[in-house]
Amino acid sequence: MHVRDLSRFLFELSESNNRAWFVMNKPRYDILRAEFLQFVTQLIKEISKFDPAIAGCEAKKALFRINRDVRFGKDKSPYKTNFSASILPNGRKKPSEGGGPAYYFQLDGNGRLFFAVGEYMPPSDRLRAIRNHIVADPAGFSKLLKNKGIKEVFGDLQDEGKLIRPPKGFDANHPHIEQLKLKNFMVWTECSIEGMNAEQILEILTRGFKSAHPLAAWLRSAADCS
């Protein structure tokens, strides 16, 4: 994967996000997409070394399309300005589809790498299963929150969109009530990849995903994610 070429393409796309420009630059996109697919294939192999459940994930299924869904948003730009992938055992791209925890990352035209592990906006039944698991396994969840590897790379669980009040049916005095209010169960971070090559990015992602594997494993144990 030629990182500099990819970043340049995505930067130019962000400046000229229209179909005419994309058609003219489609040959560049096809080459970069093929290289990105190879990169994700290698990343899956590396993740599988510490998380065997990922071994069966197909790289093609992990990649997101570059076309945006413009049906409901005010932004009618036709294309995403990043290359991204979400790696799950069952091939579903989104934890919100009920697929359980994912290893997600994206590269953009500003030379930034964003990566995350966990479940973003899981459906209501899945969210309840996670909350029930916190109640059923408070000691295990406490250990997870204190995990040194996770905290060093990602910090704490993200609390965007957190409920103001305790969710219905859960004790307001529970020791983990603040986590029970969460709508997302994930950690994320980002960094600059300026001057880096694909091997260096692969190392960053592998190390980061490995550090957060305990979160993925705990979430999978919350309920059947199939």
At 99 the pLDDT is 67
Structure tokens that stand for 173 in this block: 């005095």
| pLDDT block averages, 10 residues each, the chain of length 226 | 95 95 96 97 97 92 89 81 92 58 96 96 92 94 95 93 92 94 96 95 98 96 66
At 112 the pLDDT is 96
Closest CA to 132 of 96, 97, 98, 176: 176
* DSSP string for 78-120: SB-SEEEEEE-TT--S-GGGTT--EEEEEEETTSEEEEEEEES
Q: Output the pTM of the full model.
A: 0.91
At 174 the pLDDT is 94
List pLDDT tens digits, range 9-66: 999 999 999 999 999 999 999 999 999 999 999 999 999 999 999 998 999 999 999 9
Closest CA to 157 of 191, 125, 116, 100: 116
- Residue 165 is given by DSSP the state S
* DSSP string for 6-40: HHHHHHHHHHS-SHHHHHHTHHHHHHHHHHHHHHH
